[in-house]
Amino acid sequence: MGFIDVIKARAKANKKVIVLPETEDRRTYEATAQILKEGIADIVLVGSEEAIKKGSEGLDISGAIIVDPATSDKTQGYIDKLVELRSKKGMTPEQAKDILLNQYLYYGVMMVKMGDADGMVSGACHSTADTLRPCLQILKTKPGTKLVSAFFLMVVPDCEYGANGTFVFADSGLNQNPNPEELAAIAASSAESFRLLVEEEPVVAMLSHSTKGSAKHADVDKVLEATRIAKEQNPGLKLDGEFQLDAAIVPSVGASKAPGSEVAGKANTLIFPDLDAGNIGYKLVQRLAKAEAYGPVTQGIAKPVNDLSRGCSAEDIVGVVAITAVQCQAE
């Protein structure tokens, strides 16, 4: 059984309610039909029945819950709550009503906030900023979490490295140039996410163009300081750095370049020094190694809300919904 099949089986064992607000996109309906057929989650689609019927023509989405903001008896309560949450920013009832009736991502997040859904998946036709803005305004960060970040769960076929070819790549979707404290926080959150989703012990490598002092540069110093902070804050975590990628995942190279490290050559959770490296890295592995790439999965938000790449397929949406459902189970 492949990784995503295991995730789907876990999602089915305790079904959660997931909102898909991007009802202007055909992929949403294709994913919904498959999710309902497989019994992965209960799906809420936000929009008018007429528009959803037209958009889903030829697909069986009869098991989905359709919520029309214009007619739902929950909408007024959402308006009142949004005004309460954003009153310090000058939010008026009129503004809140306009947002919730016309921006379905905000409506979906309010459903999660009010307990009418467990999680949300969006981003097939919206930017990461558009997906995360309502989350940060309404749901806020998870207690005890210093930073919201994003990772890709990579499943590489026929790969002996990582956890049978499974890795977390972070941050590959959100934080442009994290400072040492932020990089350490990303490492801690990513280890927690790996443990939850892969159900194995995380082995965390702080990546660089240098391995254990082989190069001198301010960028290397940043990773070294992040490693020091992360070790200090998470003493029980298998974490080390700085490593070049091969020293992190290839046992023979790790043993040669970083003898004595419990992480070198064994890493399954890869922390990139900045968003450029993380984004380029995941796309190289996805396209050249034909890896499955699920994400960007967010971590650090108070409730599970996940982003999608705008180049995603309907199958990708199904996978991210399954991952989101498993995150919801852990809440």
**Confidence label for 155 from pLDDT (cuts 50, 70 and 90):** very high
Per-residue pLDDT tens over the stretch 171-181: 998 899 999 99
Q: Which residues lie closer than 8 Å to 288 by C-beta, 6 or more apart?
A: none
Please give the Cα distance from 194 to 130 (Å, whole number).
26
Q: What is the pLDDT of residues 65-118, one digit of tens each?
A: 999 999 999 999 999 999 998 988 888 989 999 999 999 999 999 999 999 999
DSSP-based three-state secondary structure for 277: helix
Mean pLDDT of 250-273: 96
Structure token digits, residue 54: 């037209």
> What pLDDT, on the 0 to 100 scale, is given for residue 310?
84
DSSP state of 241: E
* Residue 1: pLDDT over 80: no
State residue 140's pLDDT score. Answer: 87
| Structure confidence at residue 132 (pLDDT) | 85
Nearest alpha-carbon partner for 67 in 77, 52, 55: 52
How many Cβ atoms are within 10 Å of 71's Cβ, its own excluded?
9
* Tens-digit pLDDT profile for residues 12-44: 999 999 999 999 989 999 999 999 999 999 999
**Cβ–Cβ contacts within 10 Å for residue 1, how many?**
7
**Is 268 or 133 the better-scoring residue by pLDDT?**
268
Start-end of H helices in 114-261? 128-134, 180-198, 218-233, 245-249, 251-257
Looking up tokens 């922390």 gives 271
Q: How far apart are CA 52 and CA 64, in angstroms?
A: 11
CB-based contact 205:243 (threshold 8 Å)? yes
| Helix segments in 168-250, DSSP class H | 180-198, 218-233, 245-249
pLDDT attached to residue 126: 87
- Asked if residues 286 and 169 have their Cβ atoms less than 8 Å apart, the reply is no
CB burial string 172-196: b at 16+ within 10 A, e below: bbbbeebebebbbbbbbbbbbbbee
Mean residue pLDDT of the chain comes to 93
**Dihedral sign (CA 84, 86, 87, 92):** negative
- Alpha carbons within 13 angstroms on the beta-carbon side of residue 316 total 23
Q: What percent of the chain has pLDDT over 90?
A: 79
Residue 331's pLDDT is: 80
**What is the reported pLDDT for 241?**
86
Q: Which secondary-structure segment (H or E) carries 121?
A: strand 119-122
Greater confidence, 1 or 209?
A: 209
Predicted confidence band at 254 (pLDDT cuts at 50, 70, 90)?
A: very high
The pLDDT value given to residue 61: 94
Amino acid found at 177: N
> How many whole angstroms separate alpha carbon 23 and alpha carbon 102?
12
- DSSP conformation class of 114: T
pLDDT class for 125, splitting at 50, 70, 90? confident
Distances (CA, A) of 99 to 77, 234, 237: 14, 41, 43
Pair type for strands 292-299 and 149-155: antiparallel
pLDDT of res. 122:
92
Say how far apart CA 64 and CA 23 lie, in whole Å. 12
Q: pTM of this prediction?
A: 0.87
